[in-house]
A and B are shown apart, each in its own frame.
Chain A
Amino acid sequence: MAIETPTKPTLGDKIYDALFHNYVWKSIFRTGYPNTPRNQMLVVATNVFLHLHPTRIHRTHVKITHTYCLGGLSFFMFLGLTITGILLMFYYVPSVDRAYLDIENIQTNVQFGQMMRNLHRWMAHAMVILVFLHMMRVFYTGAYKPPREFNWVVGVILLVLTFLLSFTGYLLPWDQLAFWAITVGTNIAGSAPVLGPKSRFWLLGGLQVGPDALIRFYTLHVIGLPLLAAIFMAVHFWRIRRDGGLARPL
């Protein structure tokens, strides 16, 4: 039996130690760099963002064709929309006099303004599509079945919230496209029996799309609906863990 003789630490070992075994790193991450199974599990369990996940999952669930990452990507779009949305809010004032000019200003005078607006718009479309595809994935893999019944219901609510988020954002550029799309859209809502005209009035703050509608849509778009969506998302993600992770054959 050969006896292992200790070797001198290489330069790589020294850099590694300096980076990951120092006092500051350990105060932030508690674990070393996740290159051993123990550290890999610890990092998932002790990090507030990663602990959304369990430390281990069934091997079928890392197969890309099982979920196509659709739910995660929907959430990723939400995060991206929050970031680009906050940047757009720096320059945008939701008043009829300024809204359109502010959008033009963002596109022409703000560094990367056009880019931010483009990203925000295409991500919004992507989120609507991804959420819808995610619903189809969950349905066709039978993942709504017990014990995940309620999480499917939360998902349907999130689908509606996604539509509403997109719909309220549609008015904000205050161009012809926005104005008439929201006119048509709110007319559809207004045709409801009994509650229709009232809910249309409540949504628009008047009888037609005008300054009051703009401020209402803006408030709903930047705080009301995102807050609601975030709460339902928290429930949605929590329930995935509580209900035993992703569905798999019993």
Chain B
Amino acid sequence: MATAVVARPVARPQARARDEEVLVWPDLVFIEFIAAMLFTITLFFLATVMNAPLLDQANADVTPNPSKAPWYLLNLQELLLHMNAAMAGVIIPSIWLGIMAAFPYFDRENDGQGVWFGTERAVKITIISGLVGIIGTWFLILWDSGKIAFFLNDWFGLSGGDNLRFLENVRSMQTQLPWPEWASDITYLPFNLKLLASDAPGGPTEFQNLDFPGWLVEQGIPIMAIVGLPSLMIYAMWKAGWVLTRRDALLALFSGFIGAYGILTLVGTAFRGQGQELVFPWELKVSEGIPGQE
């Protein structure tokens, strides 16, 4: 019986083509020097014309409205407005960082490296999924802030009446649907390690009540949107014959993320006014929270 030796696809040392190579000094060092100089000059210029902000001294009793995290965390602060806090602030970003770190263990093919985009349809996939991320996220934010219902009502005179009120935003599904009484009071036994210990100090695990409509709008629908919509997009692209390899699937996923992340950051930074209301950037005002000056 022949023993099949399956070669693991590892990168083989490349034959060095000396005539394809250039010397690091001066060819690379020169470029690095120019890049460093350009940045130094630009930053010195910026530091000359624009001062770092400094507001009044910190005061725990005076809350500015809106209070915002540093700009690179405003994407999370924006997510926080639409779902359960733990999910938006910690679970989703942690899982996403894990997924990103795992990219190379999912896409293990050697080919297509070292060139921009690399596969036949990469540019198309990148642009389309980026746009889906941008437009989709905008749409979801507008919907959840009730703006779409507002536009339809105020601008076009369209109203779904009371029967369709539950479509106004995510939260209205909890309040406007005729949920049966038991739906907001489902008894369940949470998984708890105390169950495994017969002499647990906390006593036996108690039954708890689940508010299903609340769970649905806080966690169920957001999870479905965040997991489902990208999956659906990649599936559609696969059906359309665009996504052929794992690399293509990652291109779609990553580009969709960049689009959504960019929009979340932008909306959180420039479109959230007092009380985290959705406003246009030119309507954005910050109340410093000083009594008498609101």
Find chain A residues with CB under 8 A from B194 CB.
none
Find chain B residues with CB under 8 A from A62 CB.
22, 27-28, 31
**Once the chains bind, are A149 and B90 in contact (CB under 8 Å)?**
no
- Given contact pairs A170-B70, A177-B55, A69 touches B23 in the complex (Cβ within 8 A): no
**Once the chains bind, are B86 and A152 in contact (CB under 8 Å)?**
no
By beta carbon, the residue of chain B nearest A169 is B70
Cα A172 to Cα B80 in complex, Å, equals 25
Q: Flag whether A89 is at the interface (Cβ < 8 A).
A: no
Cα A166 to Cα B254 in complex, Å, equals 24
Q: Which stretch of B32-40, B167-175, B207-215 is in the interface?
A: B32-40
**Once the chains bind, are A149 and B104 in contact (CB under 8 Å)?**
yes
Cα A163 to Cα B254 in complex, Å, equals 19
Cα A80 to Cα B247 in complex, Å, equals 36
The total of Cβ contacts below 8 Å across the A-B interface reads 244
Q: Flag whether B43 is at the interface (Cβ < 8 A).
A: yes
**Once the chains bind, are B70 and A104 in contact (CB under 8 Å)?**
no
Task: Name the contact of B112 in the complex, choosing from A60, A145, A163, A209 (C-beta under 8 A).
Answer: A145
Find chain B residues with CB under 8 A from A119 CB.
43-44, 47
Q: Flag whether B53 is at the interface (Cβ < 8 A).
A: yes
Residues of chain B from 52 to 79 with CB closer than 8 A to chain A in the complex: 52-60, 62-64, 67-70, 72-73, 76-77
- Given contact pairs A57-B28, A136-B258, A192-B89, A246 touches B57 in the complex (Cβ within 8 A): no
Q: Which stretch of B115-123, B146-154, B157-165, B230-238 is in the interface?
A: B115-123
**Once the chains bind, are A37 and B23 in contact (CB under 8 Å)?**
yes
Find chain B residues with CB under 8 A from A96 CB.
58
Cα A54 to Cα B27 in complex, Å, equals 12
Find chain A residues with CB under 8 A from B52 CB.
117-118, 120-122
Find chain A residues with CB under 8 A from B59 CB.
176, 179
**Once the chains bind, are A166 and B100 in contact (CB under 8 Å)?**
no
Q: How many residues of A contact B (CB 8 A)?
A: 90
**Once the chains bind, are B47 and A118 in contact (CB under 8 Å)?**
yes
Cα A143 to Cα B112 in complex, Å, equals 9
**Once the chains bind, are B103 and A144 in contact (CB under 8 Å)?**
yes
Task: Name the contact of A115 in the complex, choosing from B25, B48, B105 (C-beta under 8 A).
Answer: B48
Q: Nearest-CB distance from A181 to chain B (Å)?
A: 5
Q: Flag whether B101 is at the interface (Cβ < 8 A).
A: yes
**Once the chains bind, are B72 and A55 in contact (CB under 8 Å)?**
no
Task: Name the contact of A56 in the complex, choosing from B23, B53, B76, B103 (C-beta under 8 A).
Answer: B23
- Given contact pairs A55-B24, A59-B20, A173-B54, A192 touches B63 in the complex (Cβ within 8 A): no
Find chain B residues with CB under 8 A from A59 CB.
20-22
Q: Flag whether A64 is at the interface (Cβ < 8 A).
A: yes
Q: Flag whether B108 is at the interface (Cβ < 8 A).
A: yes
Cα A152 to Cα B9 in complex, Å, equals 18
Task: Name the contact of A73 in the complex, choosing from B10, B35, B117 (C-beta under 8 A).
Answer: B35
Cα A59 to Cα B77 in complex, Å, equals 44
**Once the chains bind, are B86 and A142 in contact (CB under 8 Å)?**
no
By beta carbon, the residue of chain A nearest B56 is A176
Q: Flag whether A95 is at the interface (Cβ < 8 A).
A: no
- Given contact pairs A37-B23, A41-B23, A142 touches B54 in the complex (Cβ within 8 A): no
By beta carbon, the residue of chain A nearest B57 is A100
Q: Flag whether B113 is at the interface (Cβ < 8 A).
A: yes
Residues of chain B from 238 to 253 with CB closer than 8 A to chain A in the complex: 247, 250-251
Q: Mark A226-250, 1 if CB is under 8 A from B, else 0.
A: 0000000000000000001011111
Find chain B residues with CB under 8 A from A188 CB.
69, 73, 76-77, 80, 85, 89-90
Cα A248 to Cα B18 in complex, Å, equals 15
- Given contact pairs A184-B67, A192-B90, A247 touches B21 in the complex (Cβ within 8 A): no
**Once the chains bind, are B50 and A122 in contact (CB under 8 Å)?**
yes
Q: Flag whether B129 is at the interface (Cβ < 8 A).
A: no
- Given contact pairs A50-B25, A58-B20, A146-B110, A185 touches B100 in the complex (Cβ within 8 A): no
Q: Given A141-B117, A192-B91, list of 18 further CB < 8 A pairs?
A: A53-B29, A57-B28, A73-B36, A115-B44, A118-B52, A146-B10, A149-B105, A153-B104, A157-B101, A174-B57, A176-B55, A177-B55, A178-B58, A179-B59, A189-B89, A191-B86, A191-B90, A244-B11
Binding site for A on B (CB under 8 A): 9-14, 18, 20-29, 31-32, 35-36, 39-40, 43-44, 46-48, 50-60, 62-64, 67-70, 72-73, 76-77, 80, 85-86, 89-91, 97, 100-101, 103-105, 107-118, 126, 247, 250-251, 254, 258, 288
